Chain A
């Protein structure tokens, strides 16, 4: 019997002086589903993702992970449920793809180097970047770097992946490849994926559920 994990925002209010990004909005992300979040620039998609990851405290409301308030969980506990991709590009020349993905296993506190290496190899293989394992990050294309960053998040063995504009800067082929991989991860591992995007083609083709953030509220699009 598969366990269904739930990441839930309850009556979330997100406001800054002079601007309200979210007004008592609720949202549930379930494992095994790819959900997209679209909306115009500045509507608060990235801030919402940061709230769901526990990096930004909402003005009011609560983010719950399987019924437990995320604010009550330690950083380490949260990292065992949520992996994330942010918009910053990390191109450190002294870190290889393998080193990067190995960093993802930090939260597991694995004592055995063999089990970490096995997990790293699995994640790298799943993202189709095994041949780049020893390449430094600054020598990767944008698409390859995104895959490496997602492999790192996958090495955290999370129940949810929150991806902030994962396909930005990628050409169409790279976008398609990345989205197919994400759908595969969702199906094979039962990971719940929430990603933000402006690319309507990608959203239409690869998501199970489409959400839009508009006028401080989230609506589902059919």
Chain B
């Protein structure tokens, strides 16, 4: 796995419209010098931040998928289930589509405005779900509420799209296709901070996550404060999915599929065994998808879904040992 990770990072950094030899990549990264100055520019301005975005967002989406599947005890749950992704989409749609293509909040630059709108949308919807969760909902009610909220926000986004001008529509659709290539170093820092906070929160509740798999009634009689744990899980997921969606667009598939692949590799649903592998696999798979997306000039979401879905189907049918482990 380490060798495969190194190989994909090397491939990501050296290949593209301009080929950079591995020796040059090495010198540029370690010594900040290269025979051709253009290589330095391409690496530091484009490929390095892009790769870091893929690593951070892939890890974030995968772990948020794992948390959602545990929270709902449902192998089909993903980061989009709580309406977080659609909340982010709604925020961006309101800014881009309702704003008639003007993507600026106050005096902020366009990219920060989009990220801020996505964050605001994601956390607004998360706040709604948290409110419901802490008042009356059990896990099934919460799941249905999250899905209904997703439908409702999608309806608003559809209405905005139907009335938007061409330029605004193009900006929104382009964000919606997902892209690791638009992140600058400030955004990467914010993404890394979001991931670090969520990992710290997850580590605090790690022993409780396994117990949560048995259901709320068992978890309570086994000493788990279900409401607190559920709230922590939702905040961690909101941060992970919110950050990744804000900076890289709504990326499908990775959050749903990677936790299953990780459990298949560890042959266990134990969160202690799966945390590192999920984060790692998420990063690697996102890097692979991004590399393929660049090579084929197809949108990231197209690659992730078109190649990822058949891959999981093949796993299920070809390897009998592969089955959802929750």
As a 0/1 sequence over residues 48 to 59 of chain A, the CB contacts with chain B under 8 angstroms (1 = contact) are 001001110000
Interface string of B65-77 (1 = CB under 8 A from A): 0000000000000
Query: A27: which B residues are within 8 A, CB to CB?
Result: none
Known: A55-B217, A156-B223. A103 touches B263 (CB 8 A): no
Does any Cβ of B come within 8 Å of A92's Cβ? yes
Determine if A22 is an interface residue (Cβ-Cβ < 8 Å): no
Binary interface profile of A, 75-96, with partner B (CB < 8 Å = 1, else 0)? 1101110111010101011111
Q: List 23 A-B contacts (CB under 8 A).
A: A54-B220, A55-B217, A55-B220, A75-B220, A75-B225, A84-B218, A86-B217, A86-B218, A88-B217, A92-B214, A92-B326, A93-B269, A94-B267, A94-B268, A94-B270, A94-B326, A95-B210, A95-B213, A99-B269, A99-B270, A107-B222, A152-B222, A153-B221
Q: Give the A interface residue count (CB, 8 A).
A: 30
Question: Is B47's beta carbon under 8 Å from chain A?
Answer: no
The one of A93, A95, A99, A106 that contacts B222, using a Cβ cutoff of 8 Å:
A106
Are B210 and A103 in contact (CB-based, < 8 A)?
Answer: yes
A103 touching B214, Cβ below 8 Å: yes
Query: Which positions in A face B, CB cutoff 8 Å?
Result: 50, 53-55, 74-76, 78-80, 82-84, 86, 88, 90, 92-96, 99-100, 103-104, 106-107, 152-153, 156
Bound Cα distance A88, B139 (Å): 15
| Chain B 80-112 residues near chain A, CB threshold 8 A | none
Which residues of A lie under 8 Å from residue B222 when comparing CB positions?
79, 103-104, 106-107, 152, 156
- Cβ of A95: which chain B residues have Cβ within 8 Å of it? 210, 213, 268-270
Instruction: Tell me how far the C-beta of B146 lies from the nearest C-beta in chain A, rounded to whole angstroms.
Output: 22
Count of interface residues, chain B, beta-carbon cutoff 8 Å: 25
Q: Chain B residues near A153 (CB, 8 Å)?
A: 221
B263 touches A94 (CB 8 A): yes
Contact flag A99-B268 (CB < 8 Å), given A76-B225, A83-B221:
yes
- List 20 additional contacts besides A99-B269, A156-B223; criterion CB under 8 Å: A54-B220, A74-B225, A75-B220, A75-B223, A76-B225, A78-B221, A79-B223, A86-B217, A86-B221, A88-B218, A92-B214, A93-B324, A94-B267, A95-B210, A95-B269, A103-B211, A103-B222, A104-B222, A106-B211, A107-B223
**Dominant secondary structure at the A interface:** mixed
* Docked CA distance A54–B226 (Å): 13
Contact flag A88-B221 (CB < 8 Å), given A94-B325, A94-B326, A106-B208: no
Chain A residues near B324 (CB-CB < 8 A): 93
Q: How far is the CA of A55 from the CA of B215 in the complex (A)?
A: 13
Question: Is B323 located at the chain interface by the 8 A CB criterion?
Answer: yes
Please, which residues of chain B bring their CB within 8 A of the CB of A100? 214
